[in-house]
Chain A
């Protein structure tokens, strides 16, 4: 999604009231942003606390500011600067974390972001987890509040058309309950269930705005008294599953079952690719198929 993000930033946000800060990352992705933004593109170096503070200073003076880094360096290292400097002032700073979840795979756990959405959501940051490249441009039109953009990889089935952007979208219809999938896992679930008969599969919903309470009525209808699945490349604590369960309880909506596949961390103490870690957490295509078929992997 990095390239789609860079293109969207240039086409939607290359205005004199926008700055772009990077923590020395973006090789082979941000070069065109750098050219387009000129003096408004600042490589703040390997100093994320300062970068977020500088962003808050710029934002306080009326600029909209992107802060880009690998996801954990973007939200975890400068956590207090995000809280005190950005959120207390409700400033328009968009934190862009590349490689949400296990996205950096072999690079190891220091480069993974498994609790980022919960941490940012707890601060009142608007969490955006695009499922597809096309989602990024419409998301960038709403940057007037603190926000966190979690970039991953668009893995929609080849040749598929993605529905117009909405925070909750049905990307695959089914008659047997529904799956709420956070961000790019919607593409994984879509691919995994594509060849199952519609009568036996759940529908797949891409959820791209974390903590969003505007759950569509169509989704609620599909799960009332029926099966509900949640998949997310994020820990259970404070994740989509918990938020959804709370929202449903508040509305008095009852599914017949609730199955939640989420990031398990590093259960074997071994490390590998994003696909390896997804498989360990039942978040790959095989795990999702087994989940909806009621099988153990």
Chain B
């Protein structure tokens, strides 16, 4: 059985190939969160826990994670962003295990997660609910509505993870609508705020397993958009697909040859 590190590496290579074959962009936001997504799914979540991908543009990372868990098959991945697929560029809820909602319009996930968490608490289950957001997404007012609701209702079974890669659709977050310090602003709402290196899987795992029980937690991950790709930490990584040369070079970063 491969180690988690090996599985993570394979998932990254598969993610690259999937986007290359579909000639699809959005790699930057996928590679800023795949370490967290894989760590959460393989090392932290238990059966019955729920996950909501609020930053739906990281659908590729989610599909590959589900594939690594055996919940999606190779035959599914090859249809990514092609006609007659169940795997469009933003997830469509329904028909895929582990996918609860159609996300991609930003600012929806925290409320959906709060509802799922409220349901679990009402049923007195030990279900934990996880929601992954982008940092630019917190410019949506609905995120703050959801945060206030979750804190007020003491949804201690809810964890919101923010992939803070510092970039958004048309520039750097700090140059557009800056929250200069998202941590203190979220803490001011009363959530249990933690921060970690979003590419250090041991640190992510430790942070995710360290939780107070009586209030929602927000885990802010410091990440690099397009981590380990040629256009890391640039605007281009948000939109541009990889050329064949760039793809092969990226695979070699993860010890892959681009053909398997």
Q: Closest residue to A63 on the B side, CB-wise?
A: B119
- Top-4 shortest CB links A-B: A57-B115, A53-B111, A61-B119, A50-B145
23 A-B contacts (beta carbon < 8 Å): A45-B148, A45-B149, A49-B107, A49-B141, A50-B142, A51-B111, A52-B111, A54-B112, A56-B101, A56-B111, A56-B115, A57-B112, A57-B113, A57-B119, A59-B115, A61-B115, A62-B119, A81-B108, A81-B142, A84-B108, A85-B108, A88-B102, A89-B101
Q: Verify if A212 is at the interface (C-beta below 8 Å from B).
A: no
Q: Is the CB of A57 within 8 A of B149?
A: no
- Is B146 a contact of A50 with CB atoms below 8 Å? yes
The residues in B between 37 and 52 inclusive whose CB is less than 8 angstroms from any CB of A are none
- Whether, in the assembled complex, B58 has its beta carbon less than 8 Å from a beta carbon of chain A, the answer is no
Q: Give the distance in Å from the alpha carbon of A275 to the alpha carbon of B201 in the complex.
A: 65
Nearest A-chain residue to B142, judged by Cβ: A49
Partner of A47, one of B107, B120, B145: B145
Most buried by B among A40, A50, A51, A53: A50
Is B122 within 8 A of A39, CB to CB?
yes
* CB neighbours of A40 from chain B (8 A): 122
A57–B148 CB distance below 8 A: no
Which of the four size classes fits the interface of chain B? 20 to 34
A131 to chain B, nearest CB (A): 32
Interface majority SS on A: helix, strand, loop or mixed?
helix
Q: Which of A53, A84, A85 has the most CB of B within 10 A?
A: A53
A14 to chain B, nearest CB (A): 15
Kindly state whether residue A44 has any CB partner on chain B within 8 Å. yes
Q: In the complex, what distance in Å separates the CA atom of A84 from the CA atom of B109? A: 11
Residue of B nearest to A90 (CB): B94
CA gap between A63 and B121 in the complex, in Å: 13
Within 8 A of B (CB), among A42-94: 42, 44-45, 47, 49-63, 80-81, 84-85, 88-89
Determine the chain A residues whose CB is within 8 A of the CB of B115 once the complex forms.
53-61
**B102-A84 in contact (CB<8A):** yes
Name the distance in Å between A26's Cβ and chain B's nearest Cβ.
18
CA–CA, A60 and B110, complex, Å: 14
Q: Is the CB of B114 within 8 A of A54?
A: yes
A57 touches B105 (CB 8 A): no
* Interfacial chain B residues near A56, Cβ < 8 Å: 101, 111-112, 115
In chain A, what residue has the closest Cβ to B114?
A: A54
Instruction: Report Cα–Cα, A16/B142, bound state, in Å.
Output: 28
B residues near A57, Cβ cutoff 8 Å: 111-119
Residue of A nearest to B100 (CB): A60
- Whether A53 and B112, one on each chain, are in contact in the complex, defined by CB atoms closer than 8 angstroms, is yes
Residues of chain B within 8 A (CB-CB) of A45 are: 145, 148-149, 152
List chain A residues, Cβ under 8 A from B119. Answer: 57-58, 60-63
Chain B residues contacting A50 (CB-CB under 8 Å) are: 110-111, 114, 142, 145-146, 149
Q: A53-B108, A58-B115 are in contact. Are A89 and B93 (CB under 8 A)?
A: yes
**Residue among B92, B101, B112, B152 with most chain A CB within 10 A:** B112
Interface contact B111-A89, CB-CB below 8 Å: no
**Given A44, A51, A63, A80, which contacts B105 in the complex, CB threshold below 8 Å?**
A80
How long is the Cα–Cα vector from A58 to B112 in the complex, in angstroms?
A: 8
> Cβ of A88: which chain B residues have Cβ within 8 Å of it?
92-94, 101-102
Q: How far is the CA of A51 from the CA of B152 in the complex (A)?
A: 13
Query: Within 8 Å of chain A (Cβ to Cβ): is B153?
Result: yes
Contacts A56-B101, A62-B119 known; 6 new A-B pairs at CB < 8 A: A42-B118, A47-B148, A54-B146, A56-B112, A58-B115, A84-B103
By a CB distance below 8 angstroms, the chain A residues around B141 are 49
Report how far A81 CA is from B113 CA in the complex, Å: 13
A44 nearest CB neighbor, chain B only: B149
- Contact string, B111-148, partner A, CB cutoff 8 A, digits 1/0? 11111111110110000000000000000011001101
A292 to chain B, nearest CB (A): 47
B residues in contact with A85, CB < 8 Å: 101-102, 108, 111-112
Q: From residue A51, how far is it (CB to closest CB) to chain B in Å?
A: 8
CA distance A58 to B142 in the complex (A): 17
Q: Which residues of A sit under 8 angstroms from B108, Cβ to Cβ?
A: 53, 80-81, 84-85
| Docked complex Cα distance between A7 and B69 (Å) | 48
CB distance from B68 to the nearest CB of A (A): 24
Residues of A within 8 A of B105 (CB): 80, 84
B residues in contact with A84, CB < 8 Å = 101-103, 105, 108
Q: Are B118 and A54 in contact (CB under 8 A)?
A: yes
| Set B100, B114, B123, B153: member contacting A53, Cβ < 8 A | B114
In angstroms, Cα B54 to Cα A45, docked, is 22
State how many angstroms separate the Cβ of A22 from the closest Cβ of chain B. 13
Residue from the set B102, B111, B114, B142 with the largest chain A CB neighbour count within 10 Å:
B111
Known A42-B153, A54-B114, A61-B119; judge A89-B145 contact (CB<8 A): no
